[in-house]
């Protein structure tokens, strides 16, 4: 149990609403107290030292990063409960967990070994992956920041060192020298790879009782870290092999936490038989590819005829044995076209339980790009499931971006087509930066009656071409689906004809896409991380290029103009984001510059309000801003006013009135009146909330005349899936796609043969099309 010292005369009696009862410890950043709330709940309160809090920049950074730390899944860290300022001193309140640090445990009981060491490695990697998923870099991962609690190891003090380091680089770095990465010593930008370095050093200490780099002085340790090799003697051979890669001097050469978990949980010897698979977002120079020799989705083994994503390094069948996993779910008979008992991963809830049915897609097609007139790729129909009669009419389209979720307004009509032309005549729609438009790129084919039940995978998945980067943005218009990647490529696929074209030519990463008409001509608009705004014809011709000064985060086509949204925001240095609107056709700014978004944009949507096209944004202070696209002027703002930061936004309608639909970091789905900000509804994701927090995309629309939200859920530690929920009473319509692709990166609505479908892109780089039910 941790030692609790009595309060000293210089210690406060209370911090905020918390009564202090003792001192847990003190360090270079602040003092940690044990405290109690009015209800008797025990907590830990960290109070920043007075000499640091005198610097306004440090104080703001401390609070900014502590607020961001609330995003981390609570199961593997000490949950942040409160953040505030006592006088001039910022403080952070987290749950109190009785236990000793790993450093104390090893010093008193000796190094860890066997299963205890394995459990420690896996649990701390899980926590590290959750921290990185929340957009936080720990920067001080060490044995003293791993707490061995009664329910297992957790990571503490994440993100605080990042806030201080970002503002004290000129006077010295913050961290513990024996576990710091080379880039921390060299004053370079510190990212998630630095935490991997610190984690590896912590595991060496856990296994041996000593740090990986010896030295009696800081200069000696610095020299060892920068030029020497780690001392892995005494570390079990299988773990040592994994840790050795983590100590690479080049951050880009270090594995990702998910890579490491895969290696450590694979069967003995697997780490030496095949290269480690990259399960997370690829680092510099990495292609997001499945492990060589593993079965594709559906359990069909690779064969020489299977088009690969990347060059094969292991002969087929010589990798790990195929089997169910998050990335490769177990499958049934793929591609038969015959009805099965259930769609892959489909749930039609009846008893409130969540389940995944067997079955999976067959061998994926390869999405080979072509120029106009070149070869096509065919797909074959997928299996069916138990029929559920449903007529779908959906209005919206969305996909996740790096900093914002963008929604749009599209109507799918029962008689075929999207109804975009009639919408354009009566009122300009608000297509998403991810994309929907006022007109189809090509005429929609005659409507084909849908036969697939709700949630059925239609046809075979299409694979994105190798070497085109990570999927980053998606836009749809009718049957046309455009996908942008991290290397700047823009790939176009027609779902009705299964043909493909490459629009982009590489460059800065694609951050946003949209379809629409500009000057009477169908266009596809792409926004890029370097501020580039490009217009393309559906055939691949570049129609124009403009450049903004900051990265583009969303694009749309509305009111006859192509409009882009840019944001300058560095979470390491900026307290507020700088947001601008641009006319992508002329390159001119629209309206004033906004500098009010605390912690940058958190959630973004396009919609309609009082006859105007509007941009709706959220920020880290849970404030929503509504801005007219025509003038760039903010018409009104309001706060959601509750715990649970804004995650994603979408615009829709309930009872004929415009509403704002949102997901939040407390794992809730909410509905607000768009004009007044008054909350109408709020529901938890499930009975596991808030532990199942996390979404990748949000769409608001109509299903059988009932307002619904379509959400790509990405709960940490569980399968990602798509869920459809009513917005009038919160009832779950259905769920599907559990575990497909190892995780959903993008989601949008489109048409296939004149009927509405959901399109997803997974971490496995496969494009999947899902039925929304028979006509």
Distance CA 117, CA 111 (A): 9
Task: List the alpha helices (DSSP H) in 76-133.
Answer: 102-109, 114-133
Token couple for 415 = 């008689």
Place of tokens 């992508």: 584
Residues facing 706 on adjacent strands? 703
Start-to-end CA span in the chain (Å)? 63
Do you know the residue count of the chain? 775
- In 504-628, the DSSP E strands lie at 510-518, 521-528, 532-536, 542-547, 552-558, 561-568, 576-583, 588-598, 601-609, 612-619, 623-628
Q: CA 83: distance to chain centroid?
A: 24
DSSP-assigned letter for residue 441: S
What Cα–Cα distance (Å) separates residue 141 from each residue in 159, 181, 465?
10, 10, 37
Bond before 676 cis per omega within 30 degrees: no
* Strand order from edge to edge, sheet including 146-149: 100-101, 146-149, 152-155
Q: If you count DSSP H runs as helices and E runs as strands, how many of each does the chain have, helices first?
A: 12, 40
**DSSP annotation string for 668-697:** EEEEEETTT--EEEEEESSTTTTTT--EEE
Cβ atoms of 599 and 620 within 8 Å: the answer is yes
Nearest alpha carbon to residue 175 among 153, 158, 193: 158
CA–CA distances in Å: residue 773 to residues 189, 343, 385, 470: 49, 11, 11, 30
Looking up tokens 């074209």 gives 501
**Structure-token pair, residue 610:** 């009082």
Cβ atoms 669, 725 nearer than 8 A: yes
Token pair 């804004």 in the structure block, residue: 646
> Is 140 among the catalytic positions?
yes
Residue whose entry in the numeric block shows the structure tokens 């004809």: 497
Residues 6+ away with beta carbon under 8 Å from 250: none
In angstroms, rounded to a whole number, what is the distance separating the alpha carbons of residues 37 and 490? 53
Per-residue tokens: 735: 């769920």
Catalytic residue among 82, 140, 195, 612: 140
**Residue 490 is inside which H or E element, if any?**
strand 490-494
CB contact set of 593 (below 8 Å; sequence gap of 6+):
578, 579, 580
Element spanning 243, H or E: helix 237-246
Is residue 135 left, alpha or beta, with left meaning phi > 0 and alpha meaning psi from -120 to 50? left
Q: Which residues are catalytic?
A: 140
């Amino acid at each position: 149990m941790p030692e609790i010292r009595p309060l000293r005369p210089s210690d406060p009696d209370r911090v905020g609403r918390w009564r202090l009862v003792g001192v847990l410890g003190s360090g270079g950043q602040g003092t940690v107290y044990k405290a109690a709330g009015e209800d008797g709940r025990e907590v830990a309160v960290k109070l920043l030292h007075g000499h640091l809090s005198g610097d306004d920049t440090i104080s703001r950074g401390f609070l900014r990063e502590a607020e961001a730390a609330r995003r981390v899944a609570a199961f593997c860290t000490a949950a942040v409960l409160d953040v505030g300022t006592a006088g001039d001193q910022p403080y952070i309140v987290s749950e109190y967990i009785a236990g000793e640090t790993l450093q104390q445990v090893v010093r008193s009981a000796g190094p860890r070994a066997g299963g205890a060491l394995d459990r420690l490695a896996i649990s701390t990697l899980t926590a590290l992956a959750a921290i990185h998923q929340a957009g936080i870099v720990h920067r001080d991962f060490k044995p003293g920041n791993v707490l061995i609690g009664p329910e297992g190891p957790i990571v503490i003090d994440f993100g605080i060192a990042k806030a201080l380091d970002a503002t004290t680089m000129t006077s010295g770095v913050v961290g513990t020298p024996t576990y710091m990465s080379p880039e921390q010593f060299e004053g370079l930008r510190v990212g998630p790879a630095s935490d991997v370095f610190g984690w590896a050093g912590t595991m060496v200490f856990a296994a041996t009782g000593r740090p990986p780099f010896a030295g009696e002085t800081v200069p000696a340790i610095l020299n060892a870290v920068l030029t020497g090799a780690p001392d892995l003697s005494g570390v079990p051979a299988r773990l040592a092999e994994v840790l050795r890669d983590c100590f690479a001097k080049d951050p880009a050469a270090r594995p990702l936490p998910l890579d490491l978990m895969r290696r450590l949980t694979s069967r003995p010897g697997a780490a030496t038989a095949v290269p480690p698979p990259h399960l997370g977002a690829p680092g510099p120079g990495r292609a997001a590819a499945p492990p060589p020799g593993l079965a594709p989705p559906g359990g069909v083994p690779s064969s020489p005829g299977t088009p690969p994503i990347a060059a094969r390094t292991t002969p087929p069948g010589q990798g790990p044995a195929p089997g169910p996993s998050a990335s490769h779910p177990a499958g049934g008979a793929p591609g038969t076209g015959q009805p099965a008992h259930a769609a892959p991963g489909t749930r039609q809830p009846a008893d409130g339980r969540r389940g995944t049915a067997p079955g999976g897609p067959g061998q994926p097609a390869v999405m080979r790009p072509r120029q106009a007139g070149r070869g096509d790729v065919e797909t074959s129909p997928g299996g069916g499931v138990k029929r559920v009669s449903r007529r779908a009419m959906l209005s919206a389209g969305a996909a996740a971006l790096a900093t914002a979720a963008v929604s749009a307004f599209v109507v799918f009509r029962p008689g075929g087509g999207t109804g975009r032309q009639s919408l354009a005549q009566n009122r300009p729609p608000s297509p998403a930066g991810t994309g929907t438009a006022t007109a189809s790129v090509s005429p929609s084919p005659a409507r084909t009656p849908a036969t697939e039940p709700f949630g059925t995978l239609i046809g075979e998945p299409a694979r994105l071409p190798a070497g085109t980067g990570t999927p980053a943005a998606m836009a749809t218009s009718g049957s046309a689906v455009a996908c942008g990647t991290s290397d700047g490529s823009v790939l176009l696929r027609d779902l009705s004809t299964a043909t493909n074209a490459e629009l982009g030519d590489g460059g800065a990463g694609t951050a946003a896409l949209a379809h629409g008409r500009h000057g009477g001509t169908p266009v596809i608009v792409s926004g890029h991380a370097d501020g580039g705004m490009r217009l393309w014809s559906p055939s691949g011709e570049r129609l124009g290029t403009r450049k903004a000064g900051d990265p583009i985060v969303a694009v749309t086509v509305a009111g006859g103009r192509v409009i882009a949204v840019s944001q300058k925001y560095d979470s390491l240095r900026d307290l507020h984001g700088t947001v601008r609107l641009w006319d992508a056709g002329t390159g001119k700014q629209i309206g004033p510059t906004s500098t009010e978004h605390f912690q940058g944009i958190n959630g973004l949507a396009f919609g309609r309000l009082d006859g105007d096209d509007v941009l709706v944004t959220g920020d880290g202070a849970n404030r929503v801003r509504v801005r007219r696209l025509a003038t760039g002027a903010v018409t009104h703002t309001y706060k959601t006013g509750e715990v649970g930061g804004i995650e994603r936004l979408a615009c829709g309608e309930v009872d004929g009135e415009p509403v704002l639909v949102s997901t939040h970091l407390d794992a809730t789905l909410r509905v607000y009146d768009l004009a007044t900000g008054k909350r109408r509804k709020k529901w938890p994701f499930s009975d596991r909330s808030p532990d199942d927090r996390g979404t990748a995309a949000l769409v608001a629309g109509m299903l059988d005349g009932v307002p619904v939200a379509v959400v790509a859920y990405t709960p940490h530690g569980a399968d990602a899936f798509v869920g459809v929920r009513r917005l009038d009473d919160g009832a779950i319509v259905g769920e599907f796609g559990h575990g497909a692709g190892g995780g959903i990166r993008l989601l949008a609505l489109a048409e296939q043969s004149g009927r509405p479908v959901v399109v997803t892109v997974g971490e496995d780089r496969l494009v999947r099309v899902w039925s929304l039910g028979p006509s």
